[in-house]
Structure 1
Amino acid sequence: MQNLSAYWSPAELAVNGVILLHLVGALGLGILMGYERSFHGRAAGMRTYALVCLASTALTVVNAYPGLWYGGIGSGTGGGGDPTRVIQGIVTGIGFLGAGVIMREGFSIRGLSTAASIWTAAAIGVTIGLGFYAAAIGAALLVILVMSAFQRLEAVLPHHTVVQVMLVFERAHAPPAETIRAKALEHGYEIVSWAFHLRNGSGHLEYQLTLQANGTPDPMELIDKLAHTSRVVEFRLSPSRM
């Protein structure tokens, strides 16, 4: 029982409070950086940046207090061993695991927030393993808040929506680029990049467009318009963020 109480001693709790302040600060700055990316419709947004910043801070700040690792019973200079090598192995291994959940589907990238949450869970596990229970509990609550509430917050805040569109026309009936640009503008979208591909053998011309709009307009209205006014052979629409 004495060993267990060492994890909740006044000195341990004071350090846990300092670590938690670092984590809250990292979360706030990660949110600010992520909002800039979210505002421009990029795949990595507020949740991803916030979680990565929090996890990095957790793995860094716990190394400042080796005398209080394991409740002060086995410090980094004592008989408890050096956990920094274990931490390095964990970070490397979790990096591979996180990469496995990131998937590209057409033009869309999904799984970034899941990968960041896995890495953050590893950082919280390291914090618990070193005996900073209060800080780990606080970090877990912050992560739950980020994962459950920030997607809705990103949707409410001013932002840009980026959509990737592929349109395939019969070569002889492909509309000029200016016609497509005008139709996109009618529905609130600006074309920010173009790519063209003439398919060998089929005689089809493929347009790959990146559309950007303020807020979250309905892209299906634009697709409906193009599908009914032009000879569209095939189309694909993918949000850049999922």
Structure 2
Amino acid sequence: MDLASLPDFTLPLLAAILAGGMIGFEREWRGRAAGFRTHILVCLASALLMEMAVSQGAWRFDVLEGARIVSDPTRMAHGVLTGIGFLCAGVIFRAGFSIHGLTTAASLWITAAIGLLFGAGLFGLAVTGAALTVVVLLILRLVSLRLPQKSVVDAEVVWRRDATEAEAAVEAALADIDGERRSDRFELIDGGGGVRRTFRLKVAGDAPLKTLAARLRTIEGLTGYRLDPRND
């Protein structure tokens, strides 16, 4: 491989940057940890590695007389997709009942796959994959927001241990919002001076959360609460 070969690699790499940027822009717009630059780098790195794999015959090594080089780019693809799993794991975290970051992890994984396709010269499949990914992340999200649905909310409530009436009051407040709520953790905190419980609620819109927050503030002995709507 020499400088004369560079024009052959320009289009796949530029296409990988564009595809990664399109996907990363949606994640950046929503304030996710892995955004614009991360997706571009993932797609570009995948394309570069695949270009390297398909150009194995141009590597600088001495071939034994009578030997035959057989390139297997699929091994590089397997390695890239395995390695990208560690990066995806870094954007997934658990908060209460909910697992956050799965969509961003999936977008990183498919971005790597698209980069591999560009690197292998499969432009039609890569462009189609990039377009469908943007549709799933952006267009289908807009559609889902218009559908009647309930959002999942992680609720964390803390009260003093000696406030014996607080737990019943909290349970009653949550029951009025969601009669089928689920309880997650029971914790004794602050050296035994406080109690913390977490719940998973399903609510329709922000109005019930505002009502719940106002009611929780009136409970005697309550020292803190957090209402965290799930939004991947």
Instruction: Provide TM-score, normalisation by structure 1.
Output: 0.58
CA root-mean-square deviation: 2.8
Question: What one-letter code is carried by the residue in structure 2 that aligns with 1:150?
Answer: L
Equivalent-residue separation in structure 2 for 1:201 and 1:174 (angstroms): 17
Task: Give the one of 123, 130, 138 matched to 1:133.
Answer: 123
Counterpart in 2 of 1:74? none
1:100–1:176 distance in 2 versus 1, CA, 3 Å:
closer
Counterpart of 1:216 in structure 2 is: 205
Does the 8 Å CA contact 2:183/2:197 hold for their aligned counterparts? Answer: no
CA distance in 2, matches of 1:150, 1:166: 31
Alignment gaps of 5+ in structure 2: 1-7, 9-53, 55-67
Residue 162 of structure 1 is matched in structure 2 by 152
Tell me, yes or no, if the aligned pair for 2:96 and 2:198 is still in contact at 8 Å.
no
Does the Cα contact within 8 Å between 1:194 and 1:207 map onto a contact in 2?
yes
Is residue 186 of structure 1 aligned with residue 176 of structure 2? yes
The alpha-carbon distance between structure 1 residues 184 and 139, as it changes in their structure 2 partners (threshold 3 A), is same
Distance, in Å, in 2 between the alignment partners of 1:83 and 1:184 is: 56
Note closer, same or farther for the CA distance 1:98–1:107 as it changes in structure 2 (3 Å cut).
same
**Using a 3 Å threshold, how does the CA distance of structure 1 residues 194 and 129 change in structure 2: closer, same or farther?**
closer
Task: Calculate percent identity across the aligned residue pairs.
Answer: 34
User: Does the aligned pair in 2 maintain the 1:171–1:204 contact within 8 Å?
Assistant: yes
Distance in 1 of aligned mates of 2:140 and 2:108: 17
Shift of 1:123: 1.2
Query: How far apart are residue 85 of structure 1 and its match?
Result: 0.7
Give 1:172's match in structure 2, choosing from 151, 158, 162.
Answer: 162
1:233 corresponds, among 194, 205, 223, to 223
CA positional deviation for 1:86: 0.8
Q: Distance in 1 between matches of 2:191 and 2:115?
A: 56
Gaps of 5+ in 1: 5-69, 71-77
Matched AA of 2:78? Q
User: Which string of whole-angstrom CA distances, capped at 9 and with x for unpartnered residues, describes residues 127-154 of structure 1?
Assistant: 2233221121111111111122233323
Cα offset for 1:79? 6.5
Cα 1:124–1:194 shift into 2, 3 Å:
closer
Q: The residue matched to 1:205 in structure 2 has which SS?
A: strand
Confirm or deny that 1:93 pairs with 2:83. yes
Q: Is the 8 A contact 1:163 1:240 kept in 2?
A: yes
Rate the CA distance shift 1:180–1:149 in 2: closer, same or farther, 3 A: same
The answer to whether residue 109 in structure 2 is matched with residue 122 in structure 1 is no
Q: Equivalent residue for 1:152? A: 142
- Report the CA distance between 1:163 and its aligned residue: 1.4
- State the shift of 1:200 in Å: 5.7
Q: Spell out, residue by residue over 1:201-242, the C-alpha distance to the aligned partner (whole angstroms, 9 max, x if none).
A: 3522222222223x3343232022111233211212222433
In the aligned structure 2, how far is the partner of 1:227 from the partner of 1:132? Answer: 59
Which residue identity lines up with residue 222 of structure 1 in the other structure?
L
